[in-house]
């Protein structure tokens, strides 16, 4: 069940340059939310008619709260960064990660602003976790994710950790694991998918696409997925955002 709530904002602070963390009171959404899902944020301003899909960073069902981490990239997110009191949100949307509790060793991979949902994911994984984070410069949430396992870090410009992208970092470390969970830019997920296939490890990838409704009605956020020797367009908002990497057709 999805809900619309007028959430009180407990916190809305800039944690890195242009990146904000917001904690929202939304008991109904928090109660049903799971790792890898997202919420739709409504601006209420005419100029930004469509809600903004933002991944859930952490869920505190007991206290009825969720935390999101977002980057100010346009008018909508810029507007969210100015808010102090409350915000209209809908959720929780999408399928989320499918976490197998019997797996003993998981590999978690995040890129850029795709890193936040990995926190709630890691909280729910039993067994060992190795975490790989990449970004243009220093990735966010390194310290937080260190609570769950060993963190390897890369930056495109070499300003922090391994110089290169996160898939090159993984190739250099050659981790072993039974499953990969990942979220990041599509190009990173595509390369990761190739690495996973080569190393015969199943990978869950959390995709993003431009969307309008967030609930599967408008069919705006299509992703090509294999189907019986053919392919079909599935919806990132409803069938995803998490897909198995070997099912996705990774064209540009």
The residues, any chain, with a CB within 8 Å of residue 20's CB and separated by 6 or more, are 12, 13, 14, 69, 70, 71, 72, 80, 81
- Specify whether the CB–CB gap between 33 and 91 falls below 8 A: yes
CA 129/CA 179 separation, integer angstroms? 10
Q: Mask of contacts with another protein, 157-196, x by CB under 8 A?
A: ----------------------------------------
- Specify whether the CB–CB gap between 96 and 34 falls below 8 A: yes
Helices (H), 8-86: 27-32, 75-80
Rounded to a whole number, what is the distance in angstroms from the first to the last CA of the chain? 34
Within a 10 A sphere around the Cβ of 36, how many other Cβ atoms? 26
By CB under 8 A, how many residues form the interface with another protein?
31
Among 10, 49, 73, 187, contact with another protein (rule: CB under 8 A): 49
Shortest distance in whole angstroms from residue 18 CB to another protein: 16
Of 47 and 143, nearer to another protein (C-beta) is 47
Of 21 and 235, nearer to another protein (C-beta) is 235
The residues, any chain, with a CB within 8 Å of residue 121's CB and separated by 6 or more, are 35, 36, 97, 99, 108, 181
Residue 220 as a binder of another protein (CB under 8 A): the answer is: yes
| Secondary structure of residue 55 in the 3-state scheme | strand
Of 96 and 214, nearer to another protein (C-beta) is 214
Among 32, 168, 171, 209, contact with another protein (rule: CB under 8 A): 209
Segment interacting with another protein (CB under 8 A) among 122-130, 133-141, 162-170, 231-239 = 231-239
Q: Mask of contacts with another protein, 58-87, x by CB under 8 A?
A: ------------------------------
- Specify whether the CB–CB gap between 34 and 83 falls below 8 A: no
The residues, any chain, with a CB within 8 Å of residue 143's CB and separated by 6 or more, are none
Tokens of 102: 């019997």
Residue 210 as a binder of another protein (CB under 8 A): the answer is: yes
Residue 228 as a binder of another protein (CB under 8 A): the answer is: no
Among 109, 140, 196, 211, contact with another protein (rule: CB under 8 A): 211
CA 49/CA 128 separation, integer angstroms? 43
Segment interacting with another protein (CB under 8 A) among 18-26, 107-115, 198-206, 217-225 = 217-225
Among 213, 240, 241, 243, contact with another protein (rule: CB under 8 A): 213
Residue 225 as a binder of another protein (CB under 8 A): the answer is: no
Shortest distance in whole angstroms from residue 222 CB to another protein: 5
Q: Which residues form the interface with another protein (CB under 8 A)? A: 1-4, 42, 46-51, 90, 209-223, 231-233, 238
């Amino acid at each position: 069940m999805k809900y619309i709530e007028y959430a009180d904002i407990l916190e809305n602070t800039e944690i890195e340059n242009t990146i904000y963390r917001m904690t929202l009171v939304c008991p109904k959404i928090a109660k049903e939310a799971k790792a890898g899902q997202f919420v739709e944020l409504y601006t209420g301003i005419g100029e930004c008619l469509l809600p903004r899909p933002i991944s859930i960073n952490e869920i505190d069902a007991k206290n009825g709260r969720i935390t999101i981490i977002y980057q100010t990239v346009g008018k909508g997110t810029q507007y969210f960064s100015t808010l102090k009191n409350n915000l209209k949100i809908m959720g929780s949307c999408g399928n989320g990660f499918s976490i197998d509790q019997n797996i003993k060793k998981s590999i978690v991979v995040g890129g850029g602003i795709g890193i936040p949902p990995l926190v709630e994911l890691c909280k729910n994984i039993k067994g060992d976790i190795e975490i790989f984070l990449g970004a243009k410069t220093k990735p966010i949430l390194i310290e937080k994710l260190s609570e769950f396992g060993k963190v390897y870090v890369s930056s495109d410009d070499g300003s922090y950790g391994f110089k290169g992208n996160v898939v090159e970092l993984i190739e250099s470390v050659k981790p072993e694991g039974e499953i990969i969970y990942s979220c990041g830019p599509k190009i990173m997920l595509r390369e990761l998918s190739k690495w996973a296939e080569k190393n015969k490890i199943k990978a869950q990838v959390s995709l993003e696409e431009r969307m309008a409704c967030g609930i599967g009605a408008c069919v705006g956020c299509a992703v090509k997925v294999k189907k019986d020797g053919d392919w079909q367009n599935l919806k990132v908002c409803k069938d995803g955002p998490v897909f198995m990497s070997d099912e996705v057709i990774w064209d540009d």
